[in-house]
Amino acid sequence: MDQTLDVKKAIRDLGVAARAASRLLARAGTAAKNQALSAAASAIRSSQKKILEANKLDVAGAKKAGRDAAFVDRLALSAELVEQMAEGVEQVAALADPVGAISERVKRPTGIEVARMRVPIGVIALIYESRPNVTADAAALCVKSGNACILRGGSESLHSNRVIAACMRSGLKAAGLPESAVQLVEFSDRAAVGELITLPEYIDIIVPRGGKELIARLARESRIPMIKHLDGVCHVYVDDSADPAMAVRIADNAKTQRYGTCNTMETLLVAEGIARKVLPELGRIFLSKKVEMHGDDATQKLIPGIKKATDRDYYTEWLAPVVSIRVVKGLDEAIEHIAKYGSQHTDAIVAGDRARAERFLREVDSSSVMWNASTRFADGYEYGLGAEIGISTDKLHARGPVGLEGLTTQKYVVLGHGEVRS
């Protein structure tokens, strides 16, 4: 039989089941959803051995397939990581339930009352790569926000994901909720993803997590709206009104606290009036931490021996111990630079002057704008969302870290007393 037809049918079946489950989950109470998550966390703990055995198979497979050490590292689980996974599910259970909240209630001259009610989105498909903990995290967030989910993890983590998804489903079952609210795509070929993105009748949003190429391809091809994250070309701009010590501390942290994250600073902009007080010191720090610096002429004068920055460098998300540096005249040039080269992710200003900081916060069109803080704070946990399903660089619906609220939407509720329109 034709394999393509098999995949088509299987994915459609998942969609039909997810849609049905989503209707039941949408009306589930907070207590039942929390019970499901507690039971799932217990199941993860009691399945520790099975999860680790499955994970061993995945790790062996990845090594055999010649995957690099970083890949295997993301894939590999330990007893400690399994415990963290269970705790993560319990933390989601402890978050406030956004569903059902009524806001903006107003009485209209006609007599009707109009309000908005927060409701689940419906069915969410998550497409992700190697980390198996995403299976538990994402399922927990979807269950808590009343959404059914279809999870399509990387084929290299299929054994691990299968056991983890089974734990989540057993939690749903224990709470009397439909198991098909959490479903795993078990086809490893790419056709499965191709199918998922063409079923708007069963899937309301796609959340792709993974490499930029995967996401860009899905964005081109998907017929379903996405909550997605593309580049993170984040900037720190040091205004000449900044405290130099604070500027050095923030720029250092934004670049070197972790190199591979999307909220890491990739380009440092420094006002010419303060460059002399900031760049030599930062040059020493970056040199000592083996951060490769690419600077413009003015920067090269203050930090001798570094590479000349190219125009292309300023567009680059290094995700590595490399930083682009540029000396600018001041705030206007910084804002222009960020508008041209940035990716609307996270950008920070270090400044003592409030009016300039406010202009930066207002005029830089990024999902997070910061004053006197490290870009590394752009994160759902740091913002107090409790958890995040991802960071959105889109403008519609959810911008920046996306937590439970981003997995819901609002409908209008009209309360009348028999009113008709005249």
Contact residues toward a second copy (CB under 8 A) are 23, 26-27, 100, 106, 108, 110, 112, 114, 117, 119, 121-122, 204-205, 219-220, 223, 225, 227, 243, 246, 249-250, 252-254, 257, 339, 348, 361-363, 365-374, 376-378, 382-384, 394-397, 399-401, 409-422
Distance CA 138, CA 164 (A): 11
Name the minimum Å distance from CB 367 to a second copy.
6
Minimum CB separation of residue 206 from a second copy in Å reads: 11
Residue 138 or 378: which CB sits closer to a second copy? 378
Report the run of H or E that residue 47 belongs to, with start and end: none
Q: Which is nearer to a second copy, 91 or 257 (CB)?
A: 257
Q: Vertex 24, ends 21 and 30: CA angle to 5°? A: 120
Mapping DSSP to helix (H, G, I), strand (E, B) and coil, where does residue 116 land?
strand
Task: Please give the full DSSP string across 196-258, using - where no structure is assigned.
Answer: HTT-TTT-SEEEE-S-HHHHHHHHHH-SS-B-------EEEEE-TTS-HHHHHHHHHHHHHS-
Nearer to a second copy, 31 or 65 (CB): 31
Q: Buried b vs exposed e over 136-171: b needs ≥16 C-beta within 10 Å?
A: bbbbbbbbbbbbbbbbbbbbbbbbbbbbbbbbbbbb
Amino acid identity at 393: T
CB 404, min distance to a second copy, A: 14
Which residue, among 267, 197, 273, has the nearest Cα to 240 in the 3D structure?
273
| Least Cβ distance, residue 10 to a second copy (angstroms) | 24
Nearer to a second copy, 149 or 250 (CB): 250
The least CB distance from residue 112 to a second copy, in Å, is 5
Alpha-carbon dihedral sign for residues 378, 383, 388, 391 = negative
> Of the two residues 77 and 207, which places its CB atom closer to a second copy in the complex?
207
Q: Which is nearer to a second copy, 52 or 373 (CB)?
A: 373
Looking at the DSSP assignment, which residues form a beta bridge with residue 149?
124, 182
* Closer Cβ to a second copy, 38 or 180, answer by number: 180
Q: Is the Cα dihedral 395, 400, 401, 405 positive or negative?
A: negative
Token pair for 15: 């969609």
How is residue 321 written in tokens? 């111990």
Q: How far is the CB of 282 from a second copy (least distance, A)?
A: 14
What's the min distance (Å) between Cβ of 344 and a second copy?
A: 9
Least distance between a second copy and beta carbon 216 (Å): 11
> CA-to-CA distance for 357 and 361, rounded, in angstroms?
6
Q: Which is nearer to a second copy, 189 or 363 (CB)?
A: 363
